[in-house]
Amino acid sequence: MKKVAIVLISILLLCLLCACNPNEPTHTTHTVKFDSQGGSAVESQTIMEGNPVKRPQTPTREGYFLNGWYTSSATSKDTEWHFDTDRVTKDMTLYAGWTVETSQEATSSLVFVKEGNAFTVTDMTGEETVLVIPAEHDGLPVTKIQGAYGTGAFARKAITSVTIPDSIEEIGQNSFNNCSALTTVSISTTSHLKKIGNNAFSGNSSLKEIYLPVAMTDLGDSVFNNCGAIERFIVADGNTAYSSPNGHLVEKDTNTLIRGANNSEIPDGVEIIASAAFRKSAITKLEIPNSVQSIANYVIQDSAVEEIIYRGTEQDWQAIEKAKLWNMGKTDVSVKFEPRQEEITKMYITIYGNKLEVTLENNSSVKALVELLKQGDITYTADDYGGFEKVGSIGYSLPTNNSQITTEAGDVILYQGSQICIMVGSNSWSYTRIGKINGYTVSQLKNLVGTGKGSTEVTLSLK
C-alpha cells in the first residue's frame, strides 16, 4: 500500500512539473488587422489559431453605413467575413465595406438627359447645398455626371456635400469645378466609378479627403488642382492604376505623384512630381526622396511650403530635371540636403567558424542592436539550453517588443532584453524576434551552431 501511495505521489509531482514547464508548446497566435477604408481607426486583435475574431466596434464614416467586413478590399459576398462561423488560421487583414447612405432623398431639381439606355445628370435648377444623385431615373440607371457641351454640371455651385451612387461610371470634366464649399464626396467601396474628367474637382478648397474605388482607372488633367485642404486620398487596395502612400495620390505605372495631400513626406519610389502637385497646400515643409527624377511646373505655388528637405546629396538634387517654373512664387524656398540613412536589413552570426546570414526584422529592438553594431562587433559566450537553442547574454540591454510566439529553427530571438537565442527547435514563449537564418535544414543548423557542444564564443557583426 505504501509503495502504491509513493507511486501515486510521484505521478502527481510529474504532472505538476509538466504543467509548469515553460518550454511546453502552446497554441499559435495570429494578428488580425482592420482596414476601415476611410472610416475611423480600429484596433488590431491577437487571436489564438482556430478561434473566431471578436466583432470590433463599428467605425464611423460620414455619409456611409457599414455593411460588413471582408478579406479583400474589393468587397463581395465571396470575401465577406462571418464572425460567428469563420476561424483564424493566419495573420490577416479585414477590410470595411461601406455603402453610401440611401435614406436621403434624391435632389429634386436635378436635370437628366437620356443617352441610350441610361441617364446623365447635367445640371440642377434649384439652390440645394446637399446634393444626392439617384442610382436610377425613370427606371433606367444614372451612369454619368456631365454638363452640356463639356461645361461643369455643378461648377461654382454652393453645395457642401454630394452623394455619388454606385451606378455612376464617369464624372465628366469640370463637374464640380470651383465648388469651394464642398467638404464631403461620398463614394462607396462598391462604386462602379471608372473615370473622372479634367478639372472635375479643381478649386475645391474645402475638400479634406476623397475615396477612389477599385474600378477607377482614368483620371484627367488637373482633377484635384488647388485642392489645398486635402488631408488624404484613399485609394482601394485592389486598384491597379493608382495608390495613396502617405495619403498622396500616385499613378502606379509612371510612379508620378499626381496630387499631394497635407503630409510633408513624399514616399520613396516616386519618380515624377506632377504640375501643381502641392499648389495651395497648407504644409510648411516638403520632404523629397532621392528617387525623384523630375519636377514639373507650379509644384509649390501659392502653398505654405517654406523648406524642402531633400533625401540625397546636393549633386543628386542638381541632377533632377526641374521645369523652369517648378518653384514659381516660392523662389526663396530653402533646400536642405539630408541623405536618408541606408536601411540595414542583414547581420551576421559567426559561431564555430561558421558565418551565418540573418535577415533582420523591423522593430525598435533591431534598430538599437544595429546602432550598437555600427560601433563594432559584439562577442559573447553562448551555451545550449533545452535542446532547442544556443543562448547567451550580449552584455547590453535592448528595448523589447515581446509577443507570445512559437519559434522555428533559424529564428534569432531576444529574450529578457539582453540574451540572444539562436533557435534550432520550437518553443513558445514571450519573445522579441530579431531575425531569421535561412537556407539550412534543422540538422544542418544544429551542426553549424554546435548543438550539444556546450559553451562557445559567438560574434555578431554587420559585415
**DSSP, residue by residue, 239-259:** -SSEE-GGG-EEETTTTEEEE
Banded model confidence at residue 27, pLDDT cuts 50, 70, 90: low
- Residue 10 in grid coordinates: 510521484
What does the pLDDT look like over 288-324, one tens digit per residue? 999 999 999 999 999 999 999 999 999 999 999 999 9
Q: Write down the mean pLDDT value for the chain.
A: 90
Residues 262, 248: Cα–Cα separation, whole Å:
8
Tally of CA atoms within 13 A in the half-sphere of 239 that contains its CB: 32
pLDDT at 103: 56
The predicted model gives 67-74 an average pLDDT of: 84
Using CB atoms within 10 A of its CB, is residue 454 exposed (0-12), middle (13-18) or buried (19+)?
A: exposed
Name the residue with higher pLDDT: 61 or 181: 181
Residue corresponding to grid cell 544544429: 446
Asked if 222 contacts 245 with a C-beta cutoff of 8 angstroms, the reply is no
- Mean pLDDT computed over 67-95: 85
One-letter amino acid for residue 365 of the chain = S
**Which residue carries 436621403 as its cell?**
104
| pLDDT at residue 2 greater than cutoff 50 | no
Query: 68 pLDDT band (50/70/90 cuts)?
Result: confident
Indicate whether 18 pLDDT > 60.
no
Q: What is the mean pLDDT of residues 389-406?
A: 92
Q: Is the pLDDT of residue 7 over 50?
A: no
pLDDT for position 19: 45
**Which tops the pLDDT comparison, 98 or 2?**
98
Indicate if the pLDDT at residue 404 is higher than 60. Answer: yes
Q: Which of 202, 129, 124 is nearest to 161 (CA)?
A: 129
Residue found under cell 470590433: 56
Measured CA to CA, the distance from residue 12 to residue 373 in angstroms comes to 49
Give the rounded percent of residues in the chain with a pLDDT score beyond 90. 71
Give the pLDDT band of residue 101 (cuts 50, 70, 90). low
The pLDDT of residue 360 is 94
Q: What is the pLDDT of residue 67?
A: 77
Percent of the chain with pLDDT strictly greater than 70: 94
Tell me the pLDDT tens digit for each residue of 189-201.
889 999 999 999 9
Q: Position of cell 436610377? A: 136
Residue with cell 530571438: 413
CA 350 to chain centroid, in Å, comes to 36
CA distance between the termini of the chain: 67
Classified as helix, coil or strand, 148 is helix
Q: 224 falls in which pLDDT band (50, 70, 90)?
A: very high
* pLDDT tens-digit map of 325-349: 999 999 999 999 998 777 789 999 9
* 95 CB neighbour count, 10 Å cutoff: 24
Output the CA–CA distances (angstroms, integers) from residue 336 to 14, 265, 287, 343, in the order listed: 68, 14, 10, 21
Q: What is the mean pLDDT of residues 239-247?
A: 92
* pLDDT score of 230: 95
Element of type H or E holding 8: helix 2-19
Give the confidence band of 102 by pLDDT, cuts at 50, 70, 90: low
For residue 85, name the pLDDT band (cuts at 50, 70, 90).
confident
Is 60 exceeded by the pLDDT of residue 9?
no
